[in-house]
Amino acid sequence: ALLKQAELGWISKVYVNPPAVVRHAEQIQKWRTVKGNWQAAWLLKAVTCIDLTTLSGDDTPSNVHRLCFKAKHPIREDLLKAMDMHDKGITVAAVCVYPARVTDAVNALKAAGCDIPVASVAAGFPSGQTPLETKLAEIKLAVQYGAREIDIVISRSLVLSGQWEGLYEEIRQCREACGEAHMKTILATGELGSLANVYKASMIAMMAGSDFIKTSTGKEVENATLPVGVVMMRAIKEFYWQTGFKVGFKPAGGIRTAKEAITWLMLVKEELGVEWLKPELFRLGASSLLEDIEKQIFHHVTGSYALPHDLAMA
C-alpha cells in the first residue's frame, strides 16, 4: 500500500544544520592519519569493502575479464605474503558493471573459481530518466543474468518536487523486482539540492526496503563528499534506532586515494561503530582507488615506490 501522508508527517519537520555538518566534516579531515602496520591493516580492510567498478561506454568482455581477475587478486601475492596475509582470502567485495556486461563478469569470476558477487547498476543509471516500466524490466534482466546485487538510481525529480510517496513507491517496486538480490539505492546527492533532501531521501529509501544507500553514480559533477556522508550515516543510525534494521552505506565517485579511503573508514567507525566496518554494511565504490592502495602497500612492504610496471592493472 502507498505510504500514508500521516506516516510522512516527519518529512516537513526535518532540519539539517549545514554549517555544523560541514564543520564536523572538516574536523574529520584534520584527524591524524594512521601509520605503519596500522595503516596497512586499514588499507587491507578497505580492499575487502571495495565494489571494483567499470561503468564506461567502451567496456568490453576483455576489460571486464581483467577487472574480475584483479577483483580476485587485488594485492600482489608476494606483498600479502610479506604481511602474512596471503592465506586470509583477501578479495574485493564485489564487481560492479552495466547490465549488458553482467554475463561477462559472472563467467569470468566463475572461471577464476571464486564466489565474488556481481553488482549491476540499473533503473536508468545514471540519470534515472527512463519510464518506471523500463527500470523494473532492466532490474529483472540484470538479476536473470546473474547479478546478486543491484545498484539502482532514484528519480531526482521526485525529491526536488517533494513527491515523497511517489519516491517511496518507486523504490519499493524496484526492491520487489530485485527478488533475492541485494539492493543499493543511489541517491545522486549532488543533484538533490540540499542536505535536508539528502536526509529525507535516505530515510525514504530505507523505509522502502533498501539494503544499502549509496551517495552517487560517479557521473555527477559532485560525488561522495564527507558532509553528505555524515548526513546519510545519521539517517542510517536514526533508522536503526527506530526499527532495529541495519542498512549499509556506500560512498562512490571520486574516491581515488588510499588516504581518502581511510578517512571514509574512520568516519563510518566514528558515526556508526565498528560493526558497520564490514562488506555486509559498508562498500566503497571505486575504479582507480585499488591502484593507489596497492602502491601504498608496496611502499609499506618494500620501502620503495612502485614503478608503473610493478603492479598489474585493474
Q: Does residue 214 carry a catalytic annotation? A: yes
Q: State how far the Cα of 103 lies from the Cα of 145, in Å rounded to an integer.
A: 6
Q: Which of 72, 250, 259, 278 is catalytic?
A: 250
- Give me the catalytic one of 45, 135, 214, 278: 214
Output the nine-digit C-alpha cell for 301: 612492504
Residues 59, 30: Cα–Cα separation, whole Å: 38
Tell me the catalytic residues: 214, 250
